[in-house]
């Protein structure tokens, strides 16, 4: 969803209809990876997906977003850093909202990698 000031886009949010909240996009991206992606996507393709997301966000919203929204992601590395930081919130959120998560090897490997980041 896009927020406009007159005809200028000033903010963008992903809409997660499973758990709708007004949070930074990295929260929804972490949820996507934690609950809907396997180990290979999380480990091997995460950076490319985040870079593509950042590119699309910037090409859609342009420099006006950067001028009007100090929280806009100026660089892919900032988006990646926020994504990693938000993983702790989403891990906790997943365990609170989903009383049963699949205890498969992919999820365990994803949690191990997040642990190695020093997030949990």
pLDDT of residue 20: 66
- With the C-alpha atoms ordered 23, 29, 35, 36, is the resulting torsion angle positive or negative? positive
DSSP states of 22-84 as a string?
Answer: ---HHHHHHHHHHHH--HHIIIIIHHHHHHHHHHHHHHHHHHHHHHH-TTS-SSHHHHHHHHH
pTM, to two decimals: 0.70
pLDDT along the chain (120 residues), means of 10: 80 66 78 85 92 82 65 76 87 72 78 89
State the Cα–Cα distance between residues 15 and 81, nearest whole angstrom: 21
């Amino acid at each position: 969803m896009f927020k406009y000031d007159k005809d200028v886009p000033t903010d963008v949010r992903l809409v997660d209809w499973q758990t709708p909240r007004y949070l930074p996009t990295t929260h929804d991206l972490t949820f996507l990876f934690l609950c809907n992606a396997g180990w290979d996507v999380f480990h091997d393709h995460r950076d490319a997906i985040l870079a593509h997301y950042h590119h699309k966000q910037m090409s859609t919203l342009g420099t006006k977003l950067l001028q009007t929204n100090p929280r806009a992601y100026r660089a892919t590395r900032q988006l990646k850093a926020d994504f990693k930081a938000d993983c702790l919130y989403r891990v906790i959120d997943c365990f609170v909202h989903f009383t049963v998560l699949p205890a498969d090897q992919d999820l365990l490997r994803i949690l191990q990698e997040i642990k190695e980041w020093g997030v949990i």
